[in-house]
Each structure stands twice: as structure tokens, then as C-alpha cells.
């Protein structure tokens, strides 16, 4: 059983290395937006400095600006003022440049540490697989033996080792499944948010433009919902993709049904009354709010599951 002990120690060692690698990756990912913001800010401040310096240069070289300042005896005063503004703009740019240099050093350090750790994620999963295979092989050779030990060395029962390792593998697969599903779920929220924003506008337009007894009320209703139905169709495609991803990852999370959107009734020959039309619009708005809330709850549940598997 010593081989199983060494393999398990290897798995635990790689687990620690992988945890450090993930912490470094997270720090690097959080650092990048700060670098990007400072790069944009530096470009903006460099442009401001260049503009101020150009004003100074125009006063220094012969031209209309210098001539006018000379005639009204304000050349020296204007030059001092422009130089002060240029110096201030340069100082503001240098402040950001210095901060950006510090961030770049930190980014290089993190990149170096991450590179030194290699790819512990793959190594960890390979070590887990090796441990499972070795434990199963020993289990077949020795049978379901368990029992005590006369020495200080821990006795590892193959079946227990297999269970220990497979539980870790299962958590890895669950985490990978959530990582694949979560972006699709968030896209569904975006699509339903578009629907939820559009429907109240349509409802308000219908309520304001269709008087009681209008025989063409149903047609206005159809026209007003045409764009909304296209948005719902796009959301249905995302929901279908989400169900496929959930089925592949074996995650049991409910996806809101989108095929029960309130259907239009009536036609030019059999129009809806104003009261019926108002009820239909209110039902559509309530449907949209309910489906959006369900999609947001789905995302929250996936985020919770992701947090539970943070160490997987």
C-alpha cells in the first residue's frame, strides 16, 4: 500500500500547488483592469500635455499668436501661464506613468510565479487518475481487505482511496460543467432583460393609443409585439442551448420555460375588446418579469454552486 500512500501524497502536493496557482491567476486577473485603465488615462494625459506644450511653442515661435501677445504687452505673462499649465499637465502624466510602471513590475512578478508553477491543473487531474487506477488495481489483487497495522505507517484500503479520489474528480467535473453553463445562463438573463425592458414600452403605447371599442385593437397588439416576439425567439435559442449544457454537465437546475408567452388572440374579423387587450398586455408584462426573475435565480444558484466548488 506504500505506492498508494506516495500517490496520494503527490495528489495532495499538487492540490496545494494548484491552489497557489489559482490565487496567483486571480491576482493577475484583478490587476489587469487597473493596468488597462492607467494605460488609457496615460494616453489621455499625454495628449493633454502635448496640447499645453503646443500652446507654449506657439508663443515661442514667430506667428500671429506671438505678435498679438507682443502688441498688448502680455507675452511674458502668457508664456509663464502656459508654461505652468504645461508643467502641471506633464506632472499629471508622469504620476500615472510611475504608477503604471509599478503595476507592470507587479504583473511581471505574478506572470513569472505563474510560469514557474507550470500547469498544475493538468498535473493534478493526471495524478488523481493515476491514484484511482493504482487503487483499483490493488483492490483487484488483494480483495476488499482492510484491517489494522502493526507499524506506524497508515494502511490505505484501495476502495477508500478510490472513493476519496473519485470524489475529487467528480467535483472537478462539476466545476468544469458550471464554468461552461454559467456564461450561457448569463446570456439568457441579458436576452430576457431586453424583453422585460421592451414590453412596458409596448404596453404603454397600446394603452395610450388604442381607445375603447377600437375594432383594430388586436392588430395594434400584434404589431406592437412583433419586435418582442423576435427577442423572445432569441431568448428561446439561448434557453435551449442552456438545457443542452446542463444535460451534458448533469447539473439539476431548472431553466425557465419561454414557450408559454401569452399568445395573441383576435383578428380584424374578430378583434379583442379594449378590456381584453389590456388584460393581455398586463399578462405579457407579468410573464416577462417572472421569467427574468427565474433566470436571475438560476444564475445565482450556479454562482452558489461555483463557490461551493471553489477548491475543486
Q: pLDDT at position 63, please?
A: 61
User: What pLDDT does residue 149 have?
Assistant: 43
Predicted pLDDT at 143: 47
Radius of gyration of the CA atoms of the chain, in A: 33
Domain 174-308 -> CATH class: mainly alpha
Q: Where are the domains of the chain?
A: 2-156, 174-308
Distance CA 274, CA 266 (A): 12
pLDDT at 37: 94
Quote the pLDDT of residue 251. Answer: 80
DSSP summary character for residue 266: -
* Total residues belonging to the chain: 312
Longest Cα–Cα distance of the chain, Å, equals: 106
From the list 112, 114, 104, the residue with the least C-alpha distance to 32 is 104
| pLDDT at position 230 | 86
Q: Tens digit of pLDDT per residue, the chain (312 long)?
A: 557 788 888 888 988 898 899 889 989 999 999 999 999 999 999 999 999 888 877 766 666 656 665 656 566 677 778 888 999 999 999 999 999 999 999 999 999 999 999 999 899 888 888 888 887 777 654 544 444 444 444 555 666 777 777 777 778 878 888 888 999 999 999 999 999 988 887 777 777 665 555 545 555 555 667 778 888 999 999 999 999 888 887 788 888 998 888 765 444 444 556 666 677 778 888 899 999 999 999 999 999 888 888 766
For residue 268, what pLDDT is reported? 44
In whole angstroms, give the CA distance from residue 205 to residue 133: 66
Positive or negative torsion for Cα 277, 280, 286, 292? negative
45 CB-side CA count, 13 A: 19
Quote the pLDDT of residue 307. Answer: 84
Whole-angstrom distance, CA of residue 243 vs CA of residue 248: 9
CB distance 100 to 43 below 8 Å: no
| CATH architecture, range 2-156 | Orthogonal Bundle (1.10)
| pLDDT computed for residue 146 by the predictor | 44
51: Cα separation from own chain's centroid: 38
Amino acid at each position: 500500500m506504500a505506492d498508494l500512500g506516495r500517490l496520494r501524497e503527490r495528489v495532495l502536493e499538487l492540490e496545494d500547488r494548484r491552489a497557489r496557482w489559482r490565487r496567483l491567476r486571480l491576482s493577475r486577473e484583478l490587476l489587469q483592469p487597473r493596468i488597462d485603465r492607467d494605460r488609457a488615462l496615460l494616453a489621455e494625459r499625454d495628449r493633454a500635455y502635448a496640447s499645453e506644450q503646443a500652446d507654449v511653442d506657439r508663443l515661442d515661435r514667430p506667428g500671429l499668436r506671438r505678435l498679438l501677445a507682443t502688441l498688448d504687452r502680455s507675452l511674458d505673462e502668457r508664456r509663464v501661464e502656459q508654461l505652468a499649465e504645461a508643467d502641471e499637465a506633464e506632472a499629471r502624466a508622469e504620476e500615472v506613468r510611475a504608477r503604471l510602471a509599478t503595476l507592470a513590475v507587479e504583473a511581471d512578478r505574478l506572470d513569472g510565479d505563474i510560469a514557474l508553477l507550470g500547469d498544475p491543473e493538468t498535473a493534478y487531474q493526471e495524478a488523481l487518475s493515476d491514484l484511482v487506477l493504482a487503487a483499483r488495481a490493488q483492490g483487484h489483487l488483494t480483495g476488499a481487505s482492510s484491517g489494522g497495522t502493526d507499524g506506524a505507517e497508515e494502511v490505505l484500503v484501495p476502495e477508500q482511496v478510490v472513493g476519496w479520489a473519485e470524489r475529487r474528480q467528480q467535483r472537478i467535473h462539476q466545476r468544469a460543467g458550471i464554468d461552461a453553463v454559467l456564461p450561457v445562463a448569463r446570456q439568457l438573463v441579458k436576452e430576457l432583460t431586453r424583453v422585460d425592458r421592451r414590453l412596458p414600452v409596448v404596453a404603454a403605447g397600446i394603452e395610450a393609443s388604442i381607445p375603447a371599442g377600437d375594432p383594430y385593437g388586436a392588430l395594434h397588439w400584434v404589431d406592437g409585439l412583433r419586435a418582442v416576439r423576435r427577442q423572445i425567439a432569441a431568448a428561446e435559442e439561448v434557453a435551449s442551448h442552456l438545457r443542452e449544457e446542463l444535460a451534458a454537465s448533469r447539473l439539476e437546475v431548472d431553466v425557465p420555460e419561454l414557450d408559454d408567452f401569452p399568445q395573441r388572440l383576435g383578428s380584424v374579423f374578430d378583434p379583442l375588446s379594449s378590456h381584453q387587450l389590456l388584460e393581455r398586455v398586463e399578462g405579457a408584462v407579468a410573464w416577462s418579469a417572472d421569467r427574468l426573475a427565474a433566470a436571475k435565480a438560476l444564475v445565482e444558484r450556479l454562482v452558489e454552486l461555483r463557490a461551493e466548488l471553489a477548491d475543486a
